[in-house]
Amino acid sequence: MDTLSGLLEGPKARGAFLLKAVYNPPWAVRIEDRAPLSVATMVHGTSWLLPDGGEPVLIGPGDVAVVRGPEPYTIADSPDTPVQVTVDPDQRCSTADGEDVTDSMALGVRTWGAEHEEAGSAVMLSGTYQAPSEIGRRLLAALPTIVVRPAAAADATLIGLLGSEISRDEPGQELVLDRLLDLLLIGVLRTWLADPGSGAPGWYRAQGDPVVGRALRLLHEDPAHGWTVEELAHKAGVSRASLARRFTELVGEPPMAYLTGWRLALAADLLREPDATVATVARRVGYGSAFALSTAFKRVRGVSPQEFRTGSAAARTARPEAAGPSRTVVLPGGTGPGPKIP
């Protein structure tokens, strides 16, 4: 498995919160759901995405925005429009004076907002991942606060399919929508990673290096192997010291530290399988015993494998150090950040 495949294999929505929202101007919605990651695209009209403490970004029809939480943000027809509705962590919606409008503004299956569309209405499709484990901490740690993929680079067919499926109520519909959301997110991530100026993580850029890239591929293809720096260096055709130095420079951490992070990321995925035991997962990712995996897992992730699998509150809350850099990336062809709010 190459580095890119390893990264993009992570997003797996499970019962994601998907919604088609219809807004008539003036409108402004404050998002305080503390979700680890959200994806939004405009079907009609435009909206301003206003991260707390960051620059506003204009999102046009067909653009796809990925927003990393858990910090709140606002979406609005204008940066100056006062907040009218706030969305809380339970996806409940309330007005500025405290009125709950979650149900009164419901328009049908996964549809919410203004009852009648007008000439200036904005229609947005959004999907929210419910837990950090659905995306993977390695990805969350690398992502900027906002990534915007312009319509010219987006997959119009996929967006159209999501638009037609989001309001349907068929058997297996939740699974269909989860996979569509994953594909939409992966499309944005691939564009972001491919852009030289996007600030993609060092461990992704390093895959193009003839030495470090070879070592990364070996680690990803067989993480359960008992790798040592000496063996990796031999297979990469360099000395141990040379590999250790070059790997750390390009990736940002030593080879064995990277391997530990990759093994634990795989373990987190495997632990969600219903029939998996900690012992079997340990063997599959290169740990000699359930105890060894549990010790490493808790040291790095702050919870035991069992707590992680059963969905305890601690395992489902992103730790502060998992957050990536606070910045906005508008990929080539986008409209770019708007003017700063006074």
As a whole-number percent, the residues of the chain with pLDDT over 70 amount to 87
Read off the pLDDT of residues 193-224 as tens digits, 9 standing for 90 and up: 878 777 777 777 887 899 999 999 899 889 99
Please say if the pLDDT value at position 339 is more than 60. Answer: no
Q: Beta partners for 154?
A: none
Mean pLDDT of 97-123: 89
Quote the pLDDT of residue 2.
Answer: 58
What is the distance between the alpha carbons of residues 138 and 135, in angstroms, rounded to a whole number?
Answer: 8
206: left (phi over 0), alpha (psi -120 to 50) or beta: alpha
Flag the least confident range among 19-28, 102-111, 227-236, 331-340: 331-340
Quote the pLDDT of residue 201.
Answer: 76
Read off the pLDDT of residues 32-63 as tens digits, 9 standing for 90 and up: 999 999 999 999 999 999 999 888 999 999 99
Please say if the pLDDT value at position 7 is more than 70. Answer: no
Residue 10 DSSP SS3: coil
What is the distance between the alpha carbons of residues 85 and 22, in angstroms, rounded to a whole number?
Answer: 13
Mean pLDDT of 167-189: 91
- The residues near 249 (Cβ < 8 Å, ≥ 6 apart) are none
The CA distances from residue 57 to 32, 46, 205, in Å, are 18, 11, 27
Quote the pLDDT of residue 60.
Answer: 95
Who has greater pLDDT, 281 or 328? 281
Who has greater pLDDT, 11 or 262? 262
